[in-house]
Amino acid sequence: MTTGMNAEIEEMLVRELHEVAGGVRVPPLPALSTDAPRPRAARPWQPLLVAAAVALLVGLVAIVVGQQGGDAPQPAPSPSPSVSDPTVSGKAPTVPHLLDRRLYVDGVQVPGEWWGLEARGQVWLAVQSDGSWWWSGPGVDVQRIDAQIEQAPAISPDGGYIAFIDVSSGAAHLTGFDTQPAGEGFGPAPIDNLPVSEEGVALGVAAVTDQGDVIVQGARTRLMWRAQFEDQRTVVDLPADQRVLQATPGGLVVVDESDGPTDAATTQAYLATVSGDGRLTEVATLPTYDDLVVNPGGTWLARSPAGSLGGEVSVVGTLRAQEIGAEDEVVLEAPEGWGFANGTWAWEDDEHLIATLLPDREGGDAQLVRCHVPLGACRTIRS
């Protein structure tokens, strides 16, 4: 900084301090009661002048630093979210959940670093940072799925079955297993020459139903293996112009691709049942969405609206919920400065939704939140 600039700043500071001091109104001293505690010191005006001087000096320094290209001040860390609706329980979640890559089941942390989780009741399916898939349920120790899996496995809405495509041999083998303590594997599906991928799209299990019917899809493939029906040898074709997105307690989520490939963000999906011969029957329409979860009773849905998760968006400020088949919506609001982390919202029971809150800027720790969906009320909770 040059000598001339120093002199200019000094003159400006003196001038501004005189103007501030001249404009300060000194309030009269309050009358003191004889039984009131005696104040330590009565200096009503000195703090005002000091504050004015400090504020002015800070402002001038900030201007000079900005002119010199100094570092900009860093934003303060996000405070902990403040959501405490008394109508919502603050107890720990009753379902498996993730928080900061940590997996908790029945209040106990499962060793490992976890990147994704699907839970149906107390049965859960999760992936670690190395790409390995693990699962567990009541009466079952944590187990690794011994397979090479390129597309995420599917778990049935009631948690009774898990199915996947194993490519460890270089070919695609469709299989799965029962999650009961005495459950057994499906064995290999009776499908010859199942492709690993089609037109660059890896083949995957889109859904497995509570009856153990496994739906497999690729760019062209649309089939259903009835893995728990009779001799497990039945495979049926599904409509070529309908794509199944997932299985929920309310039915299969399906989009119509008669006009070409699409998704639930650009085309209105619908809930459907599937018959043993592969016929899809619509039972309810769904709003467009980027992510959607249905409660265990199949009566309510919660979603992130279409277009809210595009690009590198990691959180959304609001979630929308509604009874299936109804139009009225409930809006769930994250606290100011926070958002619901992508892919973390999951139903705890028919009325409550669990999610992770993340700050919209660096510096805050992830927090869990529970929302009573019909009431639209939320409360932060401890894991």
Give pLDDT tens digits for 245-301.
999 999 999 999 999 999 999 999 999 999 999 999 999 999 999 999 999 999 999
* Rounded distance between C-alpha atoms, residue 60 and residue 42, angstroms: 31
Residue 42 confidence (pLDDT): 30
Report the C-alpha gap between 96 and 344 in whole angstroms: 11
Q: What percent of the chain is predicted at pLDDT more than 90?
A: 70
Q: At what angle do helices 3-23 and 46-67 cross, to 10 degrees?
A: 150
* Residue whose token pair is 């064995």: 187
Q: Is the pLDDT of residue 52 over 70?
A: no
Whether 70 shows a pLDDT value over 60: the answer reads: no
Report pLDDT for 383: 56
In the DSSP assignment, the letter for residue 138 is: T
How far is CA 269 from each of CA 110, 158, 262, rounded to the nearest angstrom? 36, 22, 10
pLDDT for residue 59 is more than 60: no
For the cut 80, the answer to whether the pLDDT of residue 196 exceeds it is yes
Helix (H, G, I), strand (E, B) or coil at 160: coil
Coil/strand/helix, residue 5:
helix
pTM of structure: 0.78
pLDDT, tens digit (0-9, with 9 covering 90-100), for 79-107: 566 577 788 999 999 999 999 999 999 99
Sketch the domain layout of the chain as residue ranges: 288-383
Digit-coded pLDDT (tens) for 225-241: 999 999 999 999 999 99
